[in-house]
Structure 1
Amino acid sequence: MPAPASASAASALVRLRAQVVKEVLSILRDPRSRMVVLVPPLIQLLLFSFAATLEVRNVDIAVLDQDAGRWSHELVARLDAAGFVADVRRVRGSQELRALIDRGEVIAALQIPADFSRTIAAGGSGQVQVLVDGRRSNAGQIVVGYLSAIAADVGAEVERADAGAGGAGATPGAAPVSPLAVRNWFNPNLVYTWFIVPGLSGILAFFSALMLTALSIARERELGTFDQLLVSPASTVEIIVSKSLPALAIGTVLGLLMVAAGVVLFGIPFSGSLLWLLAGLVLFIGSVVGIGLMVSAVSATQQQAILGAFAIGVPAVLMSGFATPVENMPTVLQWLAQAIPLTHYLEIVHGVVLRATPAADLVASLWPLALIALVTLTMAVVMVRGRLQ
């Protein structure tokens, strides 16, 4: 009795291997599939790492200095030396200042009142009006943070000068107030590529695995080979596994390659465990494969599959926490974000690469991924089986 069962298992393995080889060859031969395999995502990683920056650099700032005193000169000099400023445009009137903002030539403008230095010399607190171009709200907020830091440095310099001279505003025997000592954990120099590149590795692997599986059954149906699957000796499970394994392997290898590229090319420190990253990546790609198979099952053509993949992929990226924190979203969207595999993988990849997150914390992100993978793959089996039958 064991012999027929063993022969049946061996026959199933042979059929499965043939199906996997056929699927890999069809991916490599299809122009649409080749566009999402290995080389293009690596090129996109290099391009997006420099283009998708969260920093604000090379901006112009307008200054209307109505004071021309010591401390206004100090403020403008520090602004001129700031690394994020390309040019400080000195204007002569409010109309010229407003015109520069209206035309979008400057992102912010400083209006220094005529009594700025006198007020400081008398022991008061000088105030500067900052006008920001609200059309670029995110960049404007970042610039305001930079300007606040410069103003704080000038304020510390004022206190040191008052304390040294024993002038107005200085308390006898008291040391000047020192600015806060800020220490940034996990990214001491706030290098934006340390945050962007690990996240991009997940996003590009997400789209690659999603597109590969979304095109798999749709390609068979469009090329007319779908009917051959129906009359082949391969079972439904064998067909689904053969469609899943190549995308799972390619997506996993691609994700690891992009993390390695971040470490080698961008100098990102890898602080955690490679095994935990691999576990998270496999579960992540597995859940994405399930989503892609569902898209492919309901798509009659490859064009429909591509549109369906983008219709799912773009909102998933926007809600994953890559660009904006999930906590900032409405409560309903926060719940929906927990059903997106990319949300949990971003926590894993950032935790492993930058923080060396403890295993207990990683498990808190791994089990939702495992649950999502189980649900999506089960639904994919049901939908694909319905199509095959």
Structure 2
Amino acid sequence: MIKILKEIWALIRKETILIWKDKRGRIILIMPIVVQTLIFGFIASFDLNRADFAVLDLDHTHSSRRMSQSFDGSEIFHRTATLQNKAQIKEILDSKKAQMVLVIPGEFEKRLLNGSPAQIQAVISGVNSNVASSLQYYVQRIVEDFNTSRLKDEEKEAVSSSPKYVLRSWYNPNLETRWTILSAIVTILAVIQVMVLAGQSVAREEELGTIDQLLVTPMATISIMIGKAIPPVLVGLLQSTIVLAVSCFFFKIPFSGSLVLLYFGLVLFATGIVGIGLCISIVAKNMQQAMLYSFTVLMPMILLSGFATPIRAMPEIFRYLTYLNPVRYAVEFCQRVFLEGAPLESVATLLFALLLIAVGSFLFSLLLFRRKLS
């Protein structure tokens, strides 16, 4: 047993030296992760902090001016133009000078005073659906505040007895998408480098002509595969640690869960990705082919992870495909442990799925390697 462990350790050292011997290679392993984490933290956000809008007031009354001023007084909306007719709406949206046009129809105040339905129209550019959805939400909130303000002025007694609501958000009090994104890319950013390193491990031996030297050693096939698998797993854990450190100490996102539980899940996840990468490396005939195959597999895995698109919004056939995707389980696991502080019993199903994928992919890569040798 000790002899086998020494053989595996020797192969781990060899693989680690190959990864770290090149100065540029070391920089590539660390610097992109730091830069990408900062970019995701500062730039990749679905939060809407500013929206340019224009006003078309066809009523020109006290109530219509009060409505437009409600938008002017918000922190989100910034008026860039005041229109005179409906023909200008298309022009200003097409020119990107405004993302929304607030249209207040004629007889707006008259309808309000008569108790008739008084509608306003928010014409929103739907080029970016995320921004359009956020604009709809803010418009709704401002109109609700306008109605509440009117009732307070005109029917104070009715307002005092009307129900009020208080909105509270758990795990992300200010609903910052930065928290959601950074807690997910702990796994997303690491998976790319881990897949590439694992995908090149066997293909590199074939391309350099050293595969025969490896095979004539007294090492068993499983020992070779374990020795090939561990260095990429360690690189993945290092990169996840960098992302975690930047998220917690630079962006001040509170880590609510157990580090031991988090790293246990990350080890299972990285092992599963390495298993898939080894399968690619065994099938590929050279490093260039392995790189191409790795990125061909990576893109669908990330898209089907639920990171960018909710899984429930996907077509049914793709929702079933996500059950085979380790990134799906890793993203959910990481977010729940990071933000919610979920205990082991709450994420046991996710860990079991990651374990199945890790064992299954590694055993399949072992089978492919043995068939290739035979």
TM-score (normalizing by structure 1): 0.90
Unaligned runs of at least 5 residues, structure 1: 1-8, 165-171
Contact 2:103 2:120 in 1 (8 A): yes
1:195 aligns with 2:187: no
Q: Is the 8 A contact 1:297 1:384 kept in 2?
A: yes
SS in 2 for 1:38: helix
What is the rounded CA distance, in whole Å, between the counterparts of 1:174 and 1:38 in structure 2?
Answer: 58
The one-letter amino acid paired with 1:45 is: T
TM-score of the aligned structures, taking structure 2 as reference length: 0.94
State the aligned residue count: 374
1:13 to 5, 28, 48: 5
Among residues 304, 307, 311, which one is paired with 1:319 in the alignment? 304
- Worse-superposed segment, 294-303 or 195-204: 294-303
Please say if residues 156 and 178 of structure 1, whose CA atoms lie closer than 8 Å, have aligned partners that are also in contact.
no
Between stretches 126-135 and 74-83, larger displacement belongs to: 74-83
Match of 2:82 in 1: 90
List per-residue Cα deviations over 1:284-328 (Å, max 9, x = no partner): 111111111111111122222222111111111111111121111
Secondary structure, aligned partner of 1:124: coil
Letter of the 2:51 partner, please give it.
V
Q: For 1:135, what is the secondary structure of its paired residue?
A: coil
Query: Hey, what's the Cα distance between the residues in 1 that align with 2:27 and 2:327?
Result: 21
1:68 is aligned to 60
Aligned to 2:123: 131
CA distance in 2 between counterparts of 1:335 and 1:35 reads: 38
Tell me the equivalent position of 1:268.
253
State the Cα distance separating 1:86 from its structure 2 match: 4.3
Cα distance in 2 between the residues matched to 1:359 and 1:258: 22
CA distance in 2, matches of 1:346, 1:45: 15
Counterpart-to-counterpart distance in 2, 1:325 and 1:35:
34
Partner-residue secondary structure (3-state), 1:365 = helix
Q: More deviation in 151-160 or 103-112?
A: 103-112
In the superposition, relative to structure 1, how do residues 67 and 31 fare at CA in structure 2: closer, same or farther (>3 Å)? farther
Q: CA deviation at 1:336?
A: 0.9
Decide whether aligned partners of structure 1 residues 202 and 294 sit closer, same or farther in structure 2, where only a CA change above 3 A counts: same
Structure 1 contact 163–176 (Cα < 8 Å) conserved: no
Q: Counterpart of 2:53 in 1: which secondary structure?
A: strand
How far residue 253 of structure 1 moved from its aligned partner, in angstroms, is: 2.5
Displacement of 1:174 in angstroms is 5.9
Give, in whole Å, the separation in 1 of the partners of 2:325 and 2:158. Answer: 59
Distance 1:103 1:88 in 2: 12
Q: In structure 1, what is the Cα distance between the partners aligned to 2:255 and 2:370? A: 42
Displacement of 1:188 in angstroms is: 1.1
Q: Deviations over 1:132-153 (max 9, x none)?
A: 2222222211211111111111
Q: How does 1:293-308 map to 2 (within 5 A)?
A: 293-308=278-293
Q: Distance in 1 between matches of 2:102 and 2:206?
A: 63
Residues 36 and 371 of structure 1: is their aligned pair in 2 closer, same or farther, counting only changes over 3 Å? farther
1:226 shift after superposition: 2.2
Q: What one-letter code is carried by the residue in structure 1 that aligns with 2:307?
A: F
Aligned residue for 1:82, secondary structure, equals coil
CA RMSD of aligned residues (A): 2.0
Judge conservation of contact 2:46–2:130 (CA < 8 Å) in 1: no
Per-residue deviation, residues 174-226 of structure 1 (Å, max 9, x unmatched): 63645532111111111221111011111001112111101211222222222
SS at match of 2:54: strand
Q: Identity across aligned pairs (percent)?
A: 31
Q: Which residue in the other structure is 2:192 paired with?
A: 207
Partner secondary structure for residue 160 of structure 2: coil
For the residues of structure 1 that align with 2:159 and 2:181, how far apart are their CA atoms?
45
Instruction: Map residues 116-155 of structure 1 onto 2, 5 A cutoff.
Output: 116-155=108-147
